[in-house]
Structure 1
């Protein structure tokens, strides 16, 4: 099987690397409920929703920095530790642009929109399938 060069992989739309089943919790769910849901689905982030609209995201890092390190109660509402206005990208955005966004915004999770509605998520871990070492080397040279 012929390997695709890293430069071509950068131009692939992220739609191939999007988890379309976006797992979420209501903004008033507890921190503990959100963490339990993440464990249940074996995911490293969870969407926070309000009336079916995604209003934020909570990641493993948020739990460490904003809940545990600050001594918050597991019974507090998850919206208190979420990242509001999370970084998003359109489903047709190229891998190159998503990696640049992740680097610029210092995030590992990007919510993906289709027709201006959040429909999924992509993570740095999912993009590792692209031989990220080769991609990072290529980006660093540009």
Structure 2
């Protein structure tokens, strides 16, 4: 199966010039702990909730800190026409759970997560469990409307 068949399209992105508070609001809105950082449609970085906690909050930076100063700029990515088996091996080797997807012009076209892969091939207990775990929500959800 090709990455383009399993990936999530219409990915929300953050701008390098946004504040981390604005980027965190995007993460809260989409119930995700990561957003790609793009300059127009070029992928320039990734920002995680952990980046905000470790590179900003822990160092005394306020909510007005810029995304560019906190994001990870060395981004691993895959191509939309790659085989998912190859990308799965890469995810395991890199110990990452999600990866931005670019076209051959290196323009961001989506993101591929372990959950996407599990939903694309849910046969068997591992795929079913991973698919269920990877769905937003649940007991430890950070969504504002989650029940306590």
Counterpart CA distance in 1 for 2:30 and 2:17 is: 20
Give aligned pairs, total.
Answer: 123
TM-score by length of 1: 0.75
Residue 66 of structure 1 and its aligned partner are, at CA, apart by 2.4
> What is the root-mean-square deviation of aligned Cα atoms in Å?
2.0
Q: d(CA) in 1 for partners of 2:24 and 2:84? A: 29
Question: How does the TM-score come out when normalised to structure 2?
Answer: 0.72
SS in 2 for 1:35: helix
Q: SS state of the match for residue 8, structure 2? A: coil
Contact 2:56–2:65 (CA<8 Å) still a contact in 1?
A: no
1:67 aligns to 2:56 (yes or no): yes
Aligned partner of 1:126 among 113, 116, 119: 116
CA distance in 2, matches of 1:16, 1:44: 23
1:65: how far off? 2.9
1:38 aligns with 2:27: yes
> Who is 1:88 aligned against?
77
- Quickly say closer, same or farther: Cα 1:98–1:107, change in 2 above 3 A: same
1:5-24 matched pairs, under 5 angstroms:
12-24=1-13
More strand by share: 1
Contact 2:41 2:108 in 1 (8 A): no
Matched, 1:101 2:101: no
1:77 aligns with 2:66: yes
Distance in 2 of aligned mates of 1:97 and 1:63:
31
Preserved CA contact (<8 Å) 1:45 1:109: no
